[in-house]
Amino acid sequence: MLRMVDKVTQKGFEKILREGVQKPHNLGDKLYLVINGKSRDFSFRYTKNKITRKYSLKPYHAKTNTLADARKRALELNAMLAQGLDPHEEKQFKIDLKFEAKQQKLAAEQVKANTFVVVAENYMASKRAKWADKTTQSWENTLKTYAYPVIGDMAVVDISKFDIERIVRPIWISKPDLSTKLLQRIRRVFSRAIYLGLITSNPAMHRDNLEDALDYRDKPKAKHWNALDYKLLPDFMSELLRKDEMAAKALQFCVLNATRTSETLGARWEEFDMDQAIWTIPCDRLGIKNDDDHEIPLTDQALKFLSEMKDIQSGKYVFGNLNTGKPLSNGAMLMLIRRMGYSGKITVHGFRSSFRDFIAEETDFSNIVAEMALAHSIKSASERAYRRGKLLKRRAKMMQFYADYVMGVDSQVGKILEFKKK
């Protein structure tokens, strides 16, 4: 328990300073001067729950912190005690408040630092390991061209649906496919921002609102690709086999497997299981939105083709440029078709239609099996319910039959109709 004493006068205080006795000197009103060596420190001492507590004040200074200054501070602390407040607890409370305010400021600064560019780069970096190089390049080009100039330097927390509208509006009518793809990519970036805890809602999700704000446009018409009559496929492949350039080899493989341009050109050696005769195309490389990888049964011809390509291609891509190691350009096969004299008559994608017509017209393989071979989405609810697995055995038989026909295997040429059920 602290002993109550009368206040020490200014003269008495000066005497304590001169004598310099090293101990705590009671100055009255719970104010102490602690002399220890050369230090002269003011201290406020009080009792709570039978425990003496020490509350440090500013040290004594003849000009900046005199006895009068210390007494003023002691008076404030005594008033606090009279109100039932503990000076130590109040001090810690203020420290906590200051710390919390600092943390909130840092958090706010961090949020502001997370611009659309930063979050977009974060998202693309998280996908780069799975994406094909062309996918990454497409994303970067699209966002840099259209999104970054408008919202690139804005914090994601400050971006509204009206900002998204400013991005999309210039190409909404003139480039409907691109504007739709751009909107989808912007939406994914904001989904990433939500995952990172930077925002709570996605401003690019207001699709209906955007469409109401933008001018009306007709729905894009279904694109019909120029396709080669399947009856001419063996002759075309025979002509193609006489060409030795990489684009010709890519087109051969594309026709043989009825795959899309990007799926073929982006093919990596790691995707092929030669022992199981399966080519697995990752879902993010498919030409459609799909959550499942696409498995293609490899025919005898495809396996032989890949074995021969191994002697030519040492890079990670099956159809990579021999000088750069990068995949061929998307236009390489189309330019080859033009040089072969088919300009305006057929397209690379059209060979998928040729495959589909062949299966429908000349075989009894079901529609579901054919659609799965093309990695098409099954829209019919009844068909989706019917389809349980990937039907690999049926598809393997179908693809082998097709490959034999395309490559002009003697056992199949002129005998297509014999495969039909009797």
pLDDT tens, position by position, 382-410: 454 445 557 889 999 999 999 999 998 75
CATH of the domain at 328: 1.10.443
Residue 222 inside a domain? The answer is no
Residues 241 and 192 in one domain: no
Asked if 188 and 249 sit in the same domain, the reply is no
Residues 279 and 370 in one domain: yes
User: Which of 269, 293, 291 lies closest to 390, judged by CA?
Assistant: 293
The band of 106, judged by pLDDT with boundaries at 50, 70 and 90, is low
Is 221 inside any structural domain? no
Question: What per-residue confidence (pLDDT) applies to 418?
Answer: 37
Among candidate residues 166, 184, 213, the one where a domain is terminated: 213
pLDDT score recorded for residue 157: 87
Residues 378, 257 share a domain? yes
Q: Are residues 208 and 235 in the same domain?
A: no
- Final residue before a domain boundary, out of 96, 131, 149: 96
Q: Looking at per-residue confidence, does 305 or 51 come out higher?
A: 305
Tell me the pLDDT tens digit for each residue of 147-167: 999 999 898 888 998 899 899
Distance of CA 306 to the CA centre of its chain: 33
CA angle 216, 219, 225 (to 5 degrees): 145
User: What's the confidence (pLDDT) of residue 391?
Assistant: 86
Residue 414 has pLDDT above 70, yes or no: no
CA distance 158 to 113: 11
Whether pLDDT at 115 is above 60: yes
Same domain, 340 and 291: yes
Mean pLDDT of 176-197: 88
Q: What is the CATH number of the domain that holds 34?
A: 3.30.160.390
Res. 221 pLDDT band, cuts 50 70 90: low
Same-domain pairing of 315 and 184: no
For the chain, how are helix, strand and coil distributed in percent, rounded to 5?
55, 10, 35
What is the pLDDT, as a whole number, of residue 412? 42
Assess whether 183 and 285 both reside in one domain: no
Tell me which of 249 and 90 has the higher pLDDT: 249
User: Residue 132 domain-assigned?
Assistant: yes
Quick one: which H or E segment has residue 43?
strand 39-48
Q: Which whole number is the average pLDDT over 67-78?
A: 90
Alpha-carbon distance values, 89 to 48, 77, 78, 96, 389 (Å)? 12, 12, 14, 10, 67
Here the tokens at position 146 are: 């259209």
Q: Specify whether 375 is located in the same domain as 243.
A: yes
Does residue 209 sit in helix, strand or coil? helix
Q: pLDDT confidence of 176, banded at 50, 70, 90?
A: confident
Q: Which of 184, 213, 242 is the last residue of a domain?
A: 213
Mean pLDDT of 335-350: 89
Q: How far apart are CA 41 and CA 63, in angstroms?
A: 14
Span 82-98, mean pLDDT? 77
Higher-scoring residue by pLDDT: 375, 122: 122
Residue 304 domain flag = yes
User: pLDDT digit string (tens) for 239-248?
Assistant: 999 998 999 9
Q: In what order do the strands lie in the sheet with 278-281?
A: 272-273, 278-281, 294-297
- Report residue 406 as tokens: 């395309």
Res. 101 pLDDT band, cuts 50 70 90: low
44 and 127 inside one domain: no
**Distance between CA atoms of 16 and 33, rounded to whole angstroms?**
9
Q: Which of 135, 5, 25 has its CA nearest to residue 70?
A: 25
Q: Which domain holds residue 206?
A: 116-213
Tens of pLDDT, residues 247-265: 999 999 999 999 988 899 9
Answer yes or no: is 110 within a domain: no
Q: How many domains does the chain have?
A: 3
CA 177 to chain centre: 21
Q: Which two tokens stand for residue 68?
A: 């009068």
Instruction: Tell me what pLDDT residue 295 has.
Output: 92
> Is position 223 within any domain?
no
pLDDT band at 422 (very low <50, low <70, confident <90, very high): very low
Domain co-membership, 234 together with 312: yes
Q: What is the pLDDT of residues 7-56, one digit of tens each?
A: 888 899 989 999 989 999 999 988 999 999 889 999 998 888 888 888 88
Answer yes or no: is pLDDT of 289 > 70: no
pLDDT number for residue 330: 80
* Interatomic CA distance for residues 245 and 226, integer angstroms: 23
In this structure, is residue 120 part of a structural domain?
Answer: yes
User: What is the dihedral sign for C-alpha 371, 373, 375, 381?
Assistant: positive
Task: Note whether residue 106 is domain-resident.
Answer: no
Instruction: Please tell me whether residues 180 and 278 are part of one structural domain.
Output: no
